[in-house]
Structure 1
Amino acid sequence: MPGCPPQPVPEQLKKHFTSDLETGTVVDDVFFIRQVEEKTARTGRKYLKLSLSDRTGIAAARAWDVTEGLRENLAGDTFARIRGRVESYRRQPQLVIERAEKVSSAGLDQRDFLPSTYRDLDELSGFLEYFITEVFDEDYTRLLESFFRDQRFMERFRLAPGDIRSHHAYLGGLMEHTVSVATLCQHTVVQHPRLNRDQLTTAALLHDIGKVDEFICDGRIRYSREGKLLGHVLIGQRMIESRMQTIGDFPGGKGLELLHVVISHHGELEWGAPKLPQSAEALVLHHLDNLDAKIKGYFEIVEGRGDVSWPEMQNLFRRPLSEPRAADRDRKRKNF
């Protein structure tokens, strides 16, 4: 099933994280194997070069005396319980693996292996509930409640990421982004009261709903089959249309206008919007969604949290950007 399912209570708490690995540490814990390559040393000895990850980062590892069983237990894109010792290699810690055992992801808490929002999820849920109560149109309220009062849906929505790489690319990122966009929309309505407040708020809360099924969270955030073939805009459209049919008696014209605001929120055809925004509410949602994504993406890169390089971010903005960390480094050089 696509998405990020509710996380189980782990059978055993994770003790060792990649950021804590120091020379001399004896390790016996579960890690996600991001990458594995079979290499040959200059002596002719075979070994495996691995990248292990968890929520705190990535660690280098090596496995010597390679056997067929070891290869199977250290396959890429899988979890494994790894036993070994951290040694120093070129002044960097490197985990030398002595034993490994493949582990199913079923009993693991993905929050141990993927970064999560720093915001409190219950607090974000409270903001979400507030925005629903601020919608006074009965049809929109019924639609919103059909999603956000559905416990099974909410368990998945709370943990879903906002993206794979560029912004809110962590567990809980979708809800954080949704609350942020809805907040911006409310402020905009105060400045422009002619906007349809209920329609805009409803669209803001539902605009990225398809991301619940667009991604899979299993050691890394990746696209589901639906995400690859359809994308969250079309997935979200199908989800909204299905809920409208389920609750019944949803006015067709009102539903059509709401769907237009939702599916056009990317703003440009080359950015994945099936239609360009044609209403004031659609224009507002597009620009505020883009604003929140771009600002959050910028600061994630500056803080070293995102998985997008600075040159890629500049290309995303289609202009050169000022990097605060680069300016800080320049100032430090001048002080020496």
Structure 2
Amino acid sequence: MNKRALSLLALTMLLLTGCAQAGPDPSAAAETAAETAIEATGEADLVDLPDLTGTTVSEATDKLEEAGFTVAGYTNQFGDQVQAGSDWDVYDVAYPSGASAARGSAVTLDVFDPAADEADKAVAGPIIVPDVVGMTVEEAEAAIADAGMTVDRYFDDETFSRKEMIKGELDTVEPADNWVVTEVYPLAGVQLPDSSDRKAILLVKDAKTAAAEKKEEAEAKKYEDHWVIKYTVESDAAVDLVTYTNMVDFEMNQEQDASASKTKVVKTYRFDADKFGGSYTAWSFGVSAMAGGYASTITCRIEVNGREVAKQTSTGPYANVTCHDGDYEASF
């Protein structure tokens, strides 16, 4: 048996405050460790968590013990508790190396057995987890099957918690074929040589929600370089006077429209997006208008980057309306 190179999987590391143990029972300790994510109790005796990337169980155990931690137990990429050998591989953990936790905290490791049957590998070959994010469930199932894998479980993207999944407290879902995949575990691109782990977990989202979020992302992308400010004034008779006031990055300008020839007036301004960032900046948008003598109602609106942020309606001849929106940003 040859040791395989470490493959990146979706992993987790859970910490509990506990007493150091010389030789923990993996299954019992793992169940205890799964009760909470990284927690440090009290302010005393906090130590930095070591970087366990690319280590074996034996090496990770030595590093943890040297830093003052204990090993609570082991889980695989599906959250199942396992008995790990000293030469098993430890994957990237969910906490950043260097984070602080209380000395004596117990660490649960996500592990993988690198040993594989060479004959089986020669026949079946390694399996690469396909990238199915963005596909419908139907498309993802076909791609996963083509890769030689099966879908083990589905979870709702909106409510997914790896901690709850490990504890068995997270309900699975039965998605429709047109639901959209938002994540796959193991992660796309990971090589799975061991046939016992050729299963995938999919996070999914209903098609309507996914479509709405995709549209929202596309709208936001339109305004990455420029902010678009749109003023609208409407009346049931000719609008008598409209005044536009913009203050961006402490620079103010004002314009008026006194043509009194339209019942609907629309004015659009574009500003560089970088004017709304920096260590300290402020902006303000305003429009005021007066209805004509024959009007019974008048309304003003302000839209910023496609989203309505202000609206006001007044009634009667020569009625006035004022809409305003503004904000500031400060970072020191």
Query: Which TM-score bucket, shorter chain as reference?
Result: under 0.3
* TM-score, normalised with respect to structure 1: 0.23
**Structure number with larger C-alpha Rg:** 2
Q: Greater helix share, 1 or 2?
A: 1
Q: Which has the higher strand share?
A: 2
- The two structures have a TM-score, normalised by structure 2, of 0.23
